[in-house]
Structure 1
Amino acid sequence: MNQSHKEQGKIHRKAKVLLYLLLRKTRFFKGSPREFFRMTLDSFLAQLNLNQDFPFLLVAVFVGLVTGYVAVVFHEAILIISELLFAGRSMTANPDFSSLNDMVFLPLIPAAGGLFVGLYNAFVVKERPGHGLASVIKAVAQKNGNLARHLWVHKTITSVVSIATGGGGGREAPIAQVGAALGSSLAQKLKFTAGRTRSLLGCGAAAGLASVFNAPLGGVMFAVEVILGDFSVHTFSPIVVAAVVGTVLSRSYLGASPTFQVTEYSLISNSELILYFVLGVLAGLSAVLFIKVFYAIEEWFHRIEKRFKIPVWAMPAIGGLLCGLVCMWIPALYGFSYEVIERALNGSVSWPTMAAVYLLKPVVAAFTVGSGGSGGMFAPAMKMGAMLGGMFGETVNALFPGMTAASGAYALVGMGALTAGIMRAPLTVILILFEITGQYEIVLPIMFAAVTSSLVARLAWLYRSRHRTS
């Protein structure tokens, strides 16, 4: 035993000597050998000075790499669990309740997922979960980018369980939050400055969104436009590096094809832009509707929790049960499935299904997230927008046959416009939609409608706030 300890000690000393020689050669350490061997971790990190540009880029590569791996695990875990629990069920066909077991157990699956999330947050995390991306933006603005160090682990577990068991939230915002928390945790561990901490948080968020969407440009723009609000080169460069690394890694496991496979669309005539403008207005108003429904239901959950003194850990189970009762009739509402979006982009969803998903998607998303469950609003907004665009496209096709594009083109534009209206980030949405569909010809209508939607949503909220104060 003593002999093995001596051997380990020799190896440890040799490793330290090699590290010292390497650092002296690269001029990262300028002290004597005695000073080096007496250094603590904090003083060692101070000597390395990873705040410099080139070392910081290497750290950004590491964040992109780890976030990419987490995104792959996140994606595959949701896929495996959802296929296990909902095996053989089409997410767009009418439900078949020939088995009484389905009638009983389908609503209980999201309820069980909600119960797990509630218990986990109450007894492991020991705090009420906040709004995902809002908490990240708040950390950037008020806490110098500092997030709880273990947030990325907790968020990964609760989001996978909540979404895979049939919750109404989406997976894109949680993985962006997980990446942001990873970057923030590493920055705190390495004693970075406040500016570098915010940048590394943005690197994680960009890598997360880029990995899950297979959209590096959109991930970069999301980080600088939504999370950081900083377009400087000093911030931009490491975020680009992290997003590229995360995307390359996710592509090596999940494939490089666009997220949605759609036929080619184009602008039929310049006069069609008028119709896309109208769609942008409708998308902006729908974005306001989405937000109002979400917050109204969230407030309702808070009221019943206080009125009936329901334990906080039980609220996500109640939200999951309500979500399950709705989704069992309209499977397209489940958060883990994007099948209805792809079918809408190809013009093969019935009008009743589109209307039901449009009206009920914000409701089931609020049932899950508003009750304390986990999930994002990115995918629900895209799903609602695709249904709005699909219905609008079929209407204008009937009114103006031969001079308008297929309904799938309007579904694609509606998806981007409504998401831009909710996020108030049209540049991010434009780039993401271009990357996830590979449709360049439809970029002009998306740009027009997305900016229109963002403006209409902002004006609607201003009018609403002035009307309340008057």
Structure 2
Amino acid sequence: MSVKSITSAPVRRERSPLQALVVVTLLTGLGAGLGGMLLALLLHGIQHLAFGYSAAHLVSSESFLQGVSGASPERRVIVLTICGLVAGLGWWLLYRFGKPLVSIRQAVKSDDPRMPMLSTTVHAVLQIVTVALGSPLGREVAPREIGSALAGWLSRRAGLSVADSRVMVACGAGAGLAAVYNVPLGGAVFVLEVLLGTFGWKALVPAVATSAVAALVAQAGLGNEHQYLVPSLTLNASLVVWAVVCGPVFGVAAWAFTALTKHARAQAPKDWRLPVLSLLNFAIIGVLAMHFPQLLGNGKGPAGLAFDGGLSLSLAAMLLVLKVVITASSLRAGAEGGLLTPGLANGALLAIVLGGLWSMLWPGASLGAFAIVGAAAFLAASMQMPITAVVLVFEFTRVSHDFLIPVLFAVGGAMLAYQACVKWVPALQASLGLSWSGASKAR
């Protein structure tokens, strides 16, 4: 057999050579870092062009929220209408002419953990473009998909075993997350807790290495900055007790949000209706953004305002309701994107409302402190990743480690309440259904 044929069809081994594992690990981290950096720069470039701010700089001190707030209301409507056209036509064409998409979770569990490179790349770029144009969904799935697709391709070329290939595909996703948000520890923990479900050293070493390399590479183009600028916050007894009391509330809210978004995704069309619904959905969001520019984007804006204590209770409540509605409607219309940052924003907004009411009974804690704790609790429950959520919130905000106490109390309560909803709500619905059926028969 020729060298060329061996290169084109590597033998899959039961055990991978150490040298091959090391090379694939380093190349996955490097590739995911470059991919995450380029996607982030693409996002910034489209945002600046679409809304007309910081035109001379891809990475600037002016935030997206400042940019869209400075744009005219009419411009917001036009840009969101364009977003609807791009989303609708883009995904409709991808579903019609592209290879079937393979999710990261599917790839990690597959005997052939590869993802179609071209279709996955188009899918990722569409997410970045639409989020840049104002879609309320998250941008974190795109770099994760690019990292996973690259890792799967590298693993295949290196002839890694199926088990090691699965690990590398998961590590590629974590590295993409680490790169785009500058969260090296969060990316690694996401791999171990969410994708692989193990902290064994065979998974831990490549997860940590790929995320660290990716974050370091991405910093070359994006800078070593954290996602949110949080003022100095203090811990007190009021906040701790509130975290214990309200933790379960975040769990119930997270369960409801998850059920809503799952239903919306399941109902999303992939035929000719997708462009029509997408255009209508985003045009309506544009009209709403004429009065509430905070709605645009993945939720980083309102989350930042919440952490900074810059929201009133009434505005936070209004933004929370509208964010949930437009997130679900965008998924229902067929748009794609993540729910990490939207979930973080929902938790922060809900915390402002609950914290503001709590302060009327027991003053002392700042609204920003409530928002930090609530964001972690909602994110942990909605995505079922308590450890990852805690790590991400602390890496996002660089808040004092003193906040671990109320955050852990709230996350624990939220997780318990979420699991209770998973267990008891279907049983309650079934019971009510039987009762209603019985009542109907009696009539």
TM-score range, shorter chain: 0.7 to 0.9
Whether the 8 Å contact between 1:78 and 1:336 is mirrored in structure 2 is no
For 1:267, the aligned partner's letter is L
What is the CA–CA distance in structure 2 between the aligned matches of 1:103 and 1:213, rounded to whole Å?
26
Tell me the residue number matched to 1:162. 130
In the TM superposition, residue 53 of structure 1 has moved relative to its aligned partner by 2.5
Aligned partner of residue 210 in structure 1, secondary structure: helix
Q: How much does 1:320 deviate?
A: 2.8
**RMSD over equivalenced CA pairs, Å:** 2.9
Letter in 2 for 1:370: R
Q: Does 1:292 align with 2:259?
A: yes
Provide the residue aligned with 1:370 in structure 2: 332
Shift of 1:263: 1.7
Q: Could you report, residue by residue, the CA deviation over 1:56-87 in whole angstroms, capped at 9, with x for unpaired residues?
A: 12211111111111111111111111221122
Q: 2:221 aligns with which of 253, 258, 264?
A: 253
> Larger Cα Rg: Structure 1 or Structure 2?
1
Question: Partner of 1:262 in structure 2?
Answer: 230
- Contact 2:148–2:171 (CA under 8 A) maintained in structure 1: yes
Structure 2 match to 1:23 = none
One-letter amino acid of the structure 1 residue matched with residue 135 of structure 2: G
What is the rounded CA distance, in whole Å, between the counterparts of 2:239 and 2:282 in structure 1?
42
> Which residue identity does 2:293 align to in structure 1?
P
Q: Structure 1 residues 464 and 145, CA, compared in 2 at 3 Å: closer, same or farther?
A: farther
Aligned AA for 1:114? A
- After TM superposition, list the pairs within 5 Å mapping 1:44-443 onto structure 2: 45-46=10-11, 51-87=16-52, 91=65, 101-102=74-75, 105-125=78-98, 127=100, 135-143=103-111, 145-269=113-237, 272-298=239-265, 301-302=268-269, 310-336=272-298, 338-401=300-363, 404-439=364-399, 440-443=401-404
CA contact (8 A) 1:172 1:378 kept: yes
Query: In the alignment, residue 42 of structure 2 is paired with which amino acid?
Result: A
Aligned residue runs from structure 1 range 441-460, under 5 A: 441-460=402-421
Is 431-440 or 311-320 further displaced after alignment? Answer: 311-320
Q: Any conservation in 1 of the 2:94–2:119 contact (CA below 8 Å)?
A: no
Comparing 225-234 with 102-111, greater Cα deviation is found at: 102-111
CA offsets 1:220-275 (integer angstroms, 9 cap, x no match): 11011111112210111111110000011112221212211112223213x64221
CA distance in 2, matches of 1:104, 1:366: 19
Relative distance call for 1:368 and 1:347 in structure 2 (3 A) is same
Q: Distance in 2 between matches of 1:219 and 1:107?
A: 31
Map Cα deviations across residues 2-57 of structure 1 (whole Å, 9 max, x no partner): xxxxxxxxxxxxxxxxxxxxxxxxxxxxxxxxx8x756334895599992234312
Taking structure 2 as the reference length, the TM-score comes to 0.86
Q: Is the 8 Å Cα contact of residues 251 and 417 (structure 2) preserved in structure 1?
A: yes
Change (3 A) 1:203 1:296: closer
Moved more, 342-351 or 109-118: 109-118
Once residues 413 and 423 of structure 2 are traced to their aligned partners in structure 1, the CA distance between those partners, rounded to angstroms, is 15
Identical-pair percentage: 24
Distance 1:284 1:46, change over 3 A: same
Report the TM-score, using the length of structure 1 for normalisation: 0.81
Amino acid at match of 1:238: P
Aligned to 2:60: none
Q: Is the 8 A contact 2:247 2:409 kept in 1?
A: yes
Q: Which amino acid aligns with 1:180?
A: S
Q: Which amino acid aligns with 1:352?
A: S
Q: Check the 8 A contact 2:13/2:160 in 1, yes or no.
A: no
Using the alignment, how far apart are the partners of 1:315 and 1:110 within structure 2? 12
**Matched AA of 1:169:** L
Shift of 1:352: 2.7
Q: Secondary structure at the match of 2:134?
A: coil
Distance 1:83 1:359 in 2: 27
Q: Distance in 1 between matches of 2:277 and 2:99?
A: 15
Question: SS at 1:380's partner residue?
Answer: helix
Kindly indicate whether the alpha-carbon contact (under 8 Å) linking 2:347 and 2:378 is maintained by their aligned counterparts in 1: yes
Is the Cα–Cα contact under 8 Å of residues 82 and 336 in structure 1 kept in the other structure? no
Contact 2:76–2:286, Cα closer than 8 Å, also in 1: no
Q: In structure 2, the residue corresponding to 1:262 is in which secondary structure?
A: coil
SS at match of 1:166: coil
What is the DSSP-based 3-state SS (H/G/I as helix, E as strand, rest coil) of the residue aligned with 1:91? helix
User: What is the total number of aligned residue pairs between the two structures?
Assistant: 421
Between the aligned partners of 2:234 and 2:72, the Cα distance in structure 1 is 44
CA distance in 2, matches of 1:257, 1:323: 30
Letter matched to residue 321 of structure 1: A
Structure 1 stretches lacking a partner, 5+ long: 1-34
Moved more, 241-250 or 136-145: 136-145
How far 1:201 sits from its partner (Å)?
A: 0.6
Cα distance change of structure 1 residues 43 and 360 upon mapping to structure 2, 3 Å threshold: closer
Corresponding residue SS for 1:57: helix
| Corresponding residue of 2:437 | none
Q: Contact conserved, 1:94 with 1:329, CA < 8 A, in 2?
A: no
Q: Is the 8 A contact 2:33 2:175 kept in 1?
A: yes
Amino acid at match of 2:386: P
Q: Does the CA contact (< 8 Å) of 1:323 and 1:367 recur in 2?
A: no
Opposite residue 312 of structure 2, the aligned amino acid is S
